[in-house]
Amino acid sequence: MAPTADSPQQKSARPLVLIVEDNELNMKLFNDLLEAHGYATLQTRDGMEALRLARLHNPDLILMDIQLPEVSGLEVTKWLKEDDALRAIPVIAVTAFAMKGDEEKIREGGCEAYIAKPISVAKFLQTVQDFV
């Protein structure tokens, strides 16, 4: 059973991944892939809610969409990295930005890696595995 947004995360053998993604189809794809490969997930479409969930559940990894409706995923990542309790959590940007220089900008923003959309399933799973 996946943790709910309001229950404290019980550490288990299944690594916990917080998915921050505003596109419903991408959210479902990421969630289904992760759960099929043994990960537990938390989901939100909102950057501020992502901070709250990270503080409450201390996930093993955060997948961060860069283009969120209210606040940039890079801004949320900056806030995560400024928080002593959260800065050690790896953040992987998931973004349609795949132009030259974008990876550097994303890494400078505090993300440990990035995955370009549309995703390659194998690369997506390998990148997640590399950080959990």
118, pLDDT greater than 50? yes
On whether the 16-130 domain is CATH 3.40.50.2300, my answer is yes
What are the sequence ranges of the domains in the chain? 16-130
- Amino acid 67 reads Q
What is the average pLDDT score of the chain?
90
- Confidence grade of residue 1 (pLDDT, cut at 50, 70, 90): very low
Q: What is the mean pLDDT of residues 43-56?
A: 97
Beta-carbon contacts of 73 under 8 Å, excluding residues fewer than 6 positions away, are 20, 47, 64, 65, 66, 67, 93, 95
